[in-house]
Structure 1
Amino acid sequence: MYRFYSQATMDFFIAFGVVLGAAMLAGMASLFLWRPPQETMLDIAGRIKIWAVVVAIGGSIDPIRVIESHVMEGYLSPAIQQIAYILFAFLGAHLATELINWLCRNAG
């Protein structure tokens, strides 16, 4: 059970960090290009959310294969764990996107 919580926490924070880092760096890059940083940060945060989930769960299709193979064999527990990992990663990416939205809306 400890491994599950550990992996779920890592997935959450990896996805959170990908979105937050990408949005912040895109905001810095927009300053060099004389563009409004809030617009750039909001755009990038929304577009990169799904990729943050992919990065957090391993960057490949393997988790989906695990779900498929275990469900077809009748083992639901490993499939439910993989789905939970994906949900935790999505939650981290979504929370970072909402944080960027909040920061950009209150900064201007």
Structure 2
Amino acid sequence: MEDRLIISMTQCFFIAFGVIAGGTLIGSIGSFLTGEAPMTAMFRIAKGLRIWAIVAAIGGTFDAISNFEKGIFEGSTFDLFKQVMIIVSAMGGVQAALLLVEWLLGEEVT
């Protein structure tokens, strides 16, 4: 069971990372084509994609709520622990991608 948890955490980390990094870079190309400043758009896009990257990484909110319910009401603590760890790994992927964007832009994304 632990191997599957590590695999799920790794996948969630990189899915969240990819949503932020890819969305920011591709979105800035769209901003460039429409005449906006790409670097300003990168800041705005990176800030706006944070929560969506986590939701995309955990596979939607319904499964997460279902696992929390199972963990609390049915006493399945491993499901609760697994879901918390998956959310934490997705948050780590978001933070790593934001760090990459900060390195590329040379300024802090707030």
TM-score normalised to structure 1 length: 0.91
- Cα RMSD of the aligned pairs, angstroms, is 1.3
2:78 match = 77
Give SS of 2:71's match: helix
Which amino acid in structure 1 is aligned with residue 53 of structure 2?
Answer: A
2:28 match = 27
Same amino acid, percent of matched pairs: 34
How far does residue 101 in structure 1 lie from its aligned partner after superposition?
A: 2.0
Alignment gaps of 5+ in structure 2? none
* Greater alpha carbon shift after TM alignment, 75-84 vs 6-15: 75-84
Alignment gaps of 5+ in structure 1? none
1:95 match = 96
Give SS of 1:61's match: helix
1:16 match = 17
1:7 match = 8
CA displacement, residues 27-58 of structure 1 (integer Å, 9 cap, x when unaligned): 11111122111110111011101001101101
Moved over 6 A (4+): none
TM-score normalised to structure 2 length: 0.89
What is the aligned residue count? 106
Which amino acid in structure 1 is aligned with residue 63 of structure 2?
Answer: D
Equivalent runs, 1:54-69 vs 2, <5 Å? 54-69=55-70
How far does residue 85 in structure 1 lie from its aligned partner after superposition?
A: 0.3
How far does residue 102 in structure 1 lie from its aligned partner after superposition?
A: 2.3
Which amino acid in structure 2 is aligned with residue 104 of structure 1?
Answer: L
CA contact (8 A) 2:28 2:41 kept: yes
Give SS of 2:61's match: coil
How far does residue 7 in structure 1 lie from its aligned partner after superposition?
A: 0.7
